[in-house]
Structure 1
Amino acid sequence: MNEVVLQVGWPLDETIVRIALAGALGMFLGLEREWSQKSAGIRTFSLISLLAAVFTILVLETDVGEGLLVLGGLLVIVQGILLAVQGLLGEEDTGLSLTTSVSMLVAYGVGALVAAGFILEGVTVAVLSSLLLVLKRELHEFAWGLSREEMRSTTEFAILAFVIYPLLPPEYEPEIAGITIPLEPQVIWLMVVAVAGIGIVNYAIVSTYGGRGIAVTGFFGGLASSTAVVGTMLDHVRQRPEAASYAVAAILLANAAMAARNLAIAVGFTVGGGTDVLVEAVIPLGAVIVLAFVIAGLTADWRESGPVELESPFSLKNALAFGAVFLVVLVFGSLAETWFGTLGFYATAVASGFVSSAGATTSAVVLYRGGQLGAAEATIAILLATVSSIVVKAMLAGTSTNHTFRNQVATYSAALLLGGAAASVVIVV
């Protein structure tokens, strides 16, 4: 008897667990409908998920389940249509009836997913669907509060991120002047998406917190992509020239965030790794961080915190132009890497800084931990990537038609570089 239990127990347990989970997720989906006192609630949703689970298991383990699975789906659809008709007849709000009908079909799909072994997928669908049901009021208020320009920007961003990006090839190697240049179109386009995404976040923060929110966007945007922050600030200065000081502060704080991120990588990944900590990078990068905060604090009028009206979350034309300039910089960086010969590693660090100084920093730290680079070489590569990131932001800001903005970015960027260099000299001496 014990042998029989051992032989059949595990598959039986696994099937039972999937059925129970399907029922529980259906119950979870129906909880909000029950709380809202709709025509279908906890019991109905749980039974629908259980029905889908049973039919799916029959499909997987016997030859009689396919027709039943389709029939079950049709029955759920018919029930949904009946609920919608009730809404049209005035017995219940039409929109609510449609939502309940679709939710029942989702519950059927969740039960089928879980029974088929797609546990994580089924749980994800159930949780996201429940959130959509619970956040009904907030979602409606958000949608109704959008202006036409905001709606247009949201649509454009969705096209950039979810339509164009997946269609681009991951790698492309054009030949220029007899030199093959490896490019990554998806990475380049990702920078355009980053500019647009940071612009949307900037729009939301500035709408809430006024001019100070611009600088906040710069710092937190710099943690993700400090170069992309420039694209957002170029668009901001175009819309609000009088608030250029905040945009300059945002770029400075983006530099501070970038340097802090590189410093965290250089120190954090060399602690306890069998190698000495890269303390050589602490002083120059620390100087850049401190100077960026000091200059940003002194140049922007932080007392001015009134509302700032922006025309739109981001400009598609500006984001595309930024991507084009970024592509040109990347090509010249790749050519420089080829021309520098024996200094190719340092040239690579400089070129990588155009895209992401964090990538160059991580590469240098990995090589240092593996013994391929000494502490001095790794530190130089990290500093070159950091300098490259600061310089490329100043170059991109130089494309602005606002003379004050571009001159201040250039001047303060030079101050950061000189400050970091001076700190390096002092510590060496």
Structure 2
Amino acid sequence: MSPVVQLAVPLDSPVARIALAGALGLFLGLEREWSDKPAGVRTFSLISLLGAVFTTLGRDGLLAVGGVLVIVQGTVLAIQGLRDEDLGLSLTTSVSMLVAYGVGALTAAGFVIESVTVAVLSSLLLVLKRELHTFAGALSREELRSTTEFAILAFVIYPLLPTGDVTLGSGPLAVELEPRVVWLMVVAVAAIGIVNYAIVRTYGGRGIAVTGFFGGLASSTAVVGTMLDSVRQHPSATSYAVAAVLLADAAMALRNLAIVLAFTLPDVLVGALVPLVVVVVGSVAIAAVTADWNTPVEMELDSPFSLRNVLAFGAMFAVIILAGGIAQSEFGEVGFYVTAVLSGLVSSAGATASTVSLYRTGSLAGETAVIAVLLATASSIVVKAALTAAGPSRSFASRVALWSAVLLAGSLAAAVLVTL
């Protein structure tokens, strides 16, 4: 038998990369061709091939000359667009050509995933032209400012913060704090605030409760910061804000319940299941009863979030973590439980997952694991009630504290009954 000829070309070969570059250029040119622009499928594919060829040759001078040629061609199109009173469309085509050249160079240099990502995102921006223009045109000044502030919080300040722990103080009062964790809470509050703003614009006051539950799946503690801002802007929505915090508790407990069920089978931590179910059911029931769902509250929020309130919430959160760190250093014998409480301030899901992991490996007894999970859950409920105390509404804070106490009492009673 004759040997089988292997025709498949590996992706890391120059031939495959050049072919992929041409395909990505063609993909980029589809929308321009469909929109009947001067440069279409063939032009874009050739530009990407040009970038790939010059990169493969390894001559930086050639690559630079190719880039200049693409820029010159784009300038000619822009001038033509200015003459035809269609400068915006011509500029878009000119920049797209330069992107195509970059995609070809990236592909030939071995950055395949990066080049595909750039091509797909660029094509998406071209296709969604009308939707993006409509969205941008509908933004108010406050919305635009909030969007800019969020971008600074998430994409400028957060990467600049030091990674890992930073030690504050010395001796017995030394506390390790993760600046990025604290700032991530600030970003989470701002992000949930933006989502809450969009939902409230669509569904009115009832949308606040929707934000509470789904925001609670991401960060139940961050929901409080958003609710404080909502109550400040509209005191009439207090009942919905209370329901939102309770639903955030329900989402948090449901998430912990799912972690326990998914990772402890078949030796399920029954002692933790029943109290968690009580928190979930109790939170939903109280939220359903306490909020006046038959009376819609028409709301017009001033802005997606208040930067001042968001930063103040982050500062309060940092103080609570520092206090918890000092408490942890003072109680060595029950250090694991203190750690569970401290972790619950930041993420009860993280505390639950780590506890379940230790239980699965046999490093932790079942009873200890149950107590740790419940302490982390209780810690998350308590910290939300504590954070509302610093808000502008006494009614909001007292109602959250009352119903949080009811939830804690109910879960404690369930835990005791399970152990009998």
Q: Scaled by the length of structure 2, what TM-score is found?
A: 0.96
One-letter identity of the residue aligned with 1:41 = G
SS of the equivalent of 1:173 reads: strand
Report the Cα distance in structure 2 between the residues aligned to 1:287 and 1:240, rounded to whole angstroms: 31
The 8 Å contact of residues 30 and 40 in structure 1, kept in 2 or not, is answered as yes
One-letter identity of the residue aligned with 1:165 = Y
**2:34 alignment counterpart:** 35
Map 1:314-393; keep pairs closer than 5 Å.
Answer: 314-393=305-384
One-letter identity of the residue aligned with 1:117 = G
* Residue 156 (structure 2) pairs with residue 163 (structure 1): yes
**2:260 alignment counterpart:** 266
* Residue 65 (structure 2) pairs with residue 66 (structure 1): no
Q: CA deviation at 1:10?
A: 5.5
One-letter identity of the residue aligned with 1:45 = F
One-letter identity of the residue aligned with 2:127 = V
Report the Cα distance in structure 2 between the residues aligned to 1:222 and 1:36, rounded to whole angstroms: 43
Report the Cα distance in structure 2 between the residues aligned to 1:12 and 1:384, rounded to whole angstroms: 52
Q: CA deviation at 1:340?
A: 1.2
Change (3 A) 1:12 1:237: closer
Q: Deviations over 1:10-41 (max 9, x none)?
A: 67982221111111111111111111111111
Q: How many residues align?
A: 417
Q: CA deviation at 1:211?
A: 1.1
Report the Cα distance in structure 2 between the residues aligned to 1:73 and 1:286, rounded to whole angstroms: 62
**2:143 alignment counterpart:** 150
Q: Please, which of 177, 201, 206 is the counterpart of residue 200 of structure 2?
A: 206
* Residue 193 (structure 2) pairs with residue 193 (structure 1): no
Map 1:64-143; keep pairs closer than 5 Å.
Answer: 65-90=59-84, 93-143=86-136
Q: CA deviation at 1:425?
A: 2.1
- Gaps (5+ residues) in structure 2? none
The 8 Å contact of residues 237 and 297 in structure 2, kept in 1 or not, is answered as no
Report the Cα distance in structure 2 between the residues aligned to 1:49 and 1:137, rounded to whole angstroms: 26
Report the Cα distance in structure 1 between the residues aligned to 2:11 and 2:142, rounded to whole angstroms: 56
**1:311 alignment counterpart:** 302
Change (3 A) 1:345 1:97: same
The 8 Å contact of residues 209 and 305 in structure 1, kept in 2 or not, is answered as no
**1:299 alignment counterpart:** 290
- Gaps (5+ residues) in structure 1? 60-64
Q: CA deviation at 1:259?
A: 0.4
One-letter identity of the residue aligned with 1:108 = Y
Q: Scaled by the length of structure 1, what TM-score is found?
A: 0.94
Map 1:190-269; keep pairs closer than 5 Å.
Answer: 190-269=184-263
SS of the equivalent of 2:333 reads: helix
Report the Cα distance in structure 1 between the residues aligned to 2:170 and 2:246, rounded to whole angstroms: 35
Report the Cα distance in structure 2 between the residues aligned to 1:269 and 1:36, rounded to whole angstroms: 52
The 8 Å contact of residues 192 and 211 in structure 2, kept in 1 or not, is answered as yes
Report the Cα distance in structure 2 between the residues aligned to 1:236 and 1:328, rounded to whole angstroms: 23
SS of the equivalent of 1:182 reads: strand
Q: CA deviation at 1:305?
A: 3.5
The 8 Å contact of residues 20 and 107 in structure 2, kept in 1 or not, is answered as yes
Q: Deviations over 1:108-155 (max 9, x none)?
A: 000111111100000000000011101111111111111111111111
**2:24 alignment counterpart:** 25
One-letter identity of the residue aligned with 1:161 = A
The 8 Å contact of residues 236 and 297 in structure 2, kept in 1 or not, is answered as no
One-letter identity of the residue aligned with 1:381 = A
The 8 Å contact of residues 228 and 392 in structure 2, kept in 1 or not, is answered as no
Identity over aligned pairs, percent:
67
Report the Cα distance in structure 1 between the residues aligned to 2:240 and 2:297, rounded to whole angstroms: 13
